[in-house]
Amino acid sequence: MDCLAECLDGVSFHGPSWRMEPGDLFIPVDSIEEEATLTCDAKGNPPPQYRWSLNGSLINLGLERRRRLSGGNLIISSLDRAQDVGQYQCMAFNTVGAILSRRASLQFAYLTYAWVFNEYPYFVQQDNRRFVSQQTGNLYIAKVESSDVGNYTCVVMNSVTKGKVQSSPTSLILKTDVLEIPSFQQDDTGGYECVAENKMGKNIATGKLAFYAKPQWVQTMKDTALAIEERLYWECRANGKPKPSYSWLKNGQPLVSEDRIHVEDGVLSVSVLTLADAGMYQCVAENKHGVTYFAAELMVLASPPDFTGNVLRALLKAKAGTTVTLECKPQAYPMASILWKKGNLPIHTGDRVRLSSDGTLRLANVSKSDAGSYTCFARNRFGMSSTTGRLLVTDPTRITQGPSDVEIIVGESIVLPCQVSSDPVLDISFSWAFNGQLIAKDDGHFELVGGRTAGDLMIRNIQLYHAGKYICVVDTDVESLSAVAVLIVKGKKTLPLLRLIKCWLCSV
């Protein structure tokens, strides 16, 4: 039961999952009269509600005048440098469970940074290749192009004094003697040497390339539905430099190892599940460069056995001598214990009678004495249910007169016999195939004749193209039989012309 959707077909409730999480905000100090918005949006059924915390403490929005919710977004007006700075986190919750968003910081920036390209007022516009960090002031350019070549000047503005300073221009030159490492990976770290050499000698420059990264998921868990008393095992793994540490949350609250719950290095296991274990779980991977969350829903199923959609057939017919399989597969959480009865008597296993661990009953080499009413009883701690079906054992069907190979002349008609003896409780149908193709009922040359136990084929006005292999197929409720015959069609006999001439000469 690893996939929640398969086990909960038709169940409409599910826990929250993120559509949008909050991001860091840098507010210039001269903008404190404006509003700041921290985004938070999740989907779920019932629709999620939201709470926000600041520096780990719940924000009581009922007592706040400057902070309010719009959907899940937190809107802060009349910004206050003393009260509003810190780490914000959103919680989305419904009746299924709760999840936490990533943490987002709100900071007031006394200094803001911009970069001039070549000359004022041509400022660098941020896009998918260019980024200006308001934390460090650094300008980042990915996949440098020839159009990026030029002089760059950093401009630092003080939001309090309104003053600004600028750096001396820095030239960006596109060189061809540069080592480029596309899609940089952790394995690319280490020492590098650049060697420049000509006939006058050589020079060596060395450098060390280090790799640091916030955690990125490489293994996560899935939404899971398990029966009560079963065991949950989830594992999550993330790459990162330094190596991430792991923690687990249930409905937004930290999980620690105790009693049935074991938490260790990205692994969560819960033995003997109870209904109280259901909810939203999150694996958290964190190092000094960042933190990432992954959420999954656990549903604990508990119900009495239910045969809806999987009852025994009311009447099952089987040919004597064959093996009969009766399946008993109720939906039950936890798994039900199974008991079979024939009539009012329990069924005991033996050489011919086998009971599988999944509750399936197999009767080998059945005879008329095996016929009767069979009932499967399923029971667990929440209740009991049963399903009943009747087994009817029939005598084998035999073809008493089948078609035989025959020669016939064009224009004549013939009946190919196909007659059977069978148990009177069986439904019988006949069909014929000619050279591997089913004979159509609307073909004027063919007609199926006979009663319940006969399926003779009449062929009228036979032509040369009717020559070939004919197969009579007999289908009953429990088996299928066939008989084959080859029909040879010859042309009409005619008196040879040469002989007629000779006869005429003789008469002369």
Clarify whether residues 358 and 374 are in a common domain.
Answer: yes
Per-residue pLDDT, 159: 74
Tokens, residue 33? 């009269």
Is residue 505 situated within a structural domain? no
Per-residue pLDDT, 134: 81
Phi/psi of residue 359, nearest 5 degrees? 95, 0
**Average pLDDT, integer, range 350-366:** 95
Other CB atoms within 10 Å distance of the CB of residue 240: 23
User: What's the pLDDT tens digit per position in 60-105?
Assistant: 998 888 999 999 999 999 888 889 999 999 999 999 999 999 999 9
What is the pLDDT confidence band of residue 505, given thresholds at 50, 70 and 90?
very low
Least confident of 197-206, 353-362, 371-380, 424-433: 197-206
Is residue 177 situated within a structural domain? yes
User: What's the pLDDT tens digit per position in 472-492?
Assistant: 999 999 999 999 999 999 987
The residue to which tokens 């061809």 are assigned: 176
At 427, the amino acid letter reads D
Out of 370, 394, 418, pick the residue that ends a domain.
Answer: 394
Of 460, 455, 445, give the one whose Cα is nearest residue 408. 460
Is residue 405 situated within a structural domain? yes
Per-residue pLDDT, 451: 79
Model confidence at 499: pLDDT above 60: no
Supply the mean pLDDT for the chain: 89
What is the pLDDT confidence band of residue 503, given thresholds at 50, 70 and 90?
very low
Other CB atoms within 10 Å distance of the CB of residue 477: 18
Q: How far apart are the first and last CA of the chain?
A: 102
Clarify whether residues 341 and 388 are in a common domain.
Answer: yes
- Where are the extended beta strands (E) located within 347-498? 353-355, 361-363, 372-380, 383-394, 398-401, 406-409, 414-416, 419-421, 429-434, 437-438, 446-449, 456-459, 468-475, 480-490
Contacts of 414 (CB under 8 A, 6+ apart): 406, 408, 458, 459, 462, 487
What is the pLDDT confidence band of residue 154, given thresholds at 50, 70 and 90?
very high
| CATH assignment of the domain containing 190 | 2.60.40
In the DSSP assignment, the letter for residue 454 is B
Clarify whether residues 228 and 284 are in a common domain.
Answer: yes
What is the pLDDT confidence band of residue 317, given thresholds at 50, 70 and 90?
very high
Per-residue pLDDT, 5: 42
Residues in the chain: 508
Model confidence at 11: pLDDT above 60: no
Per-residue pLDDT, 71: 94
3-state secondary structure of 502: helix
Of 341, 248, 231, give the one whose Cα is nearest residue 294. 248
Helix (H) or strand (E) holding 44: strand 41-45
**Average pLDDT, integer, range 345-359:** 94
Out of 257, 285, 301, pick the residue that ends a domain.
Answer: 301
- Is omega for the bond preceding 48 within 30 degrees of 0, making it cis? no
Model confidence at 286: pLDDT above 50: yes
Is residue 124 situated within a structural domain? yes
The more confident residue out of 110 and 6 is 110
Beta strands 73-76 and 67-70 are: antiparallel
The answer to whether the beta carbons of residues 284 and 246 sit under 8 Å apart is yes
- Is omega for the bond preceding 242 within 30 degrees of 0, making it cis? yes
The more confident residue out of 418 and 178 is 418
**Dist CA 220 CA 235 (whole Å):** 7
Query: Which ranges constitute the DSSP H helices of 140-239?
Result: none
Assessment of whether the complete model's pTM goes beyond 0.85: no
Per-residue pLDDT, 498: 45
Is residue 508 situated within a structural domain? no
- % of the chain surpassing 70 pLDDT: 93
Per-residue pLDDT, 31: 66
The answer to whether the beta carbons of residues 74 and 38 sit under 8 Å apart is yes
Is residue 377 situated within a structural domain? yes
Model confidence at 422: pLDDT above 80: yes
Clarify whether residues 73 and 153 are in a common domain.
Answer: no
**What domain count does the chain have?**
5
**Dist CA 28 CA 433 (whole Å):** 88
Clarify whether residues 95 and 68 are in a common domain.
Answer: yes
CA 14 from centre of chain: 16
| CATH assignment of the domain containing 378 | 2.60.40.10
Phi/psi of residue 43, nearest 5 degrees? -110, 155
Out of 146, 179, 209, pick the residue that ends a domain.
Answer: 209
Is residue 149 situated within a structural domain? yes
Of 106, 15, 96, give the one whose Cα is nearest residue 52. 106
Is residue 504 situated within a structural domain? no
**Average pLDDT, integer, range 103-119:** 88
Its domain, for residue 331, covers 304-394
**Average pLDDT, integer, range 186-192:** 81
Clarify whether residues 117 and 64 are in a common domain.
Answer: no
**Average pLDDT, integer, range 195-215:** 87
Model confidence at 496: pLDDT above 70: no
User: What's the pLDDT tens digit per position in 373-411?
Assistant: 999 999 999 999 999 999 999 999 999 999 999 999 999
Per-residue pLDDT, 2: 41
